[in-house]
Amino acid sequence: MSKTVEFLFDLGSPYSYLAWHQLPKVAAAQGAAIVYTPVLLGGIFQATGNASPAEVPAKARYLDVDLQRWAQAWGLQFESNPAFPINTLALMRGAVAMQMQGDEPFQRYMQAMYHAMFGAPRNMGDPAEVAAVLTEAGFDAAQFMAQVGEQAVKDRLKDNTQRAVARGVFGAPSFFVGDELFWGQDRLDQVAQALARA
């Protein structure tokens, strides 16, 4: 496929979870491939002066209602994670490590992690819980912990995040079609239109 849409995500972002479910349908309808780019949302916030809407009490109260509306509209299972916010550094390094191993382990990892974050929520800030989820998904938890500590994995996540900021990204999910940036799962119609023009 010559058409591509780049998807920049963090596993701690519930809106990225919604987009992860919906984007493949958009891409398939436009004959486009998806390029998955793990980024560290906390690093993006720090670099851009942005902050999680969960840190604003009025927004935080609204978030769950909004997320439920989107999930219902798209027929997705969604539950707010009671352990939120969760430090996703290890999880995002894990996404990079699995991506470096190939598409199958990466997609299986994504499915397991997002389900544990927002499908049937578990405390993914607890290393023991992360290990249990990994084991249930067919991964070696000890091997995973070794991989997330590798310098090449750390460097790639850092580079992904820095490049995202340099390209104007300030939150997640973000999408690129060519050099056009789109932010938010509610921009997927615009992503589809951009792919149609590509």
Q: What is the DSSP string of the chain?
A: --EEEEEEE-TT-HHHHHHHHHHHHHHHHTTEEEEEEE--HHHHHHHHT---GGGSHHHHHHHHHHHHHHHHHHT------TT-S---HHHHHHHHHHHHH-HHHHHHHHHHHHIIIIIS---TTSHHHHHHHHHHTT--HHHHHHHHT-HHHHHHHHHHHHHHHHTT--SSSEEEETTEEEESGGGHHHHHHHHHH-
Strand duo 174-177 + 3-9: pairing: antiparallel
- Catalytic: which of 13, 16, 80, 174? 13
Q: Characterise 53 by phi-psi region: left (phi > 0), alpha (psi -120 to 50), beta (else).
A: alpha
174 given a catalytic annotation: no
Largest CA distance in the chain: 47
Tokens of 83: 């352990």
Catalytic machinery residues: 13
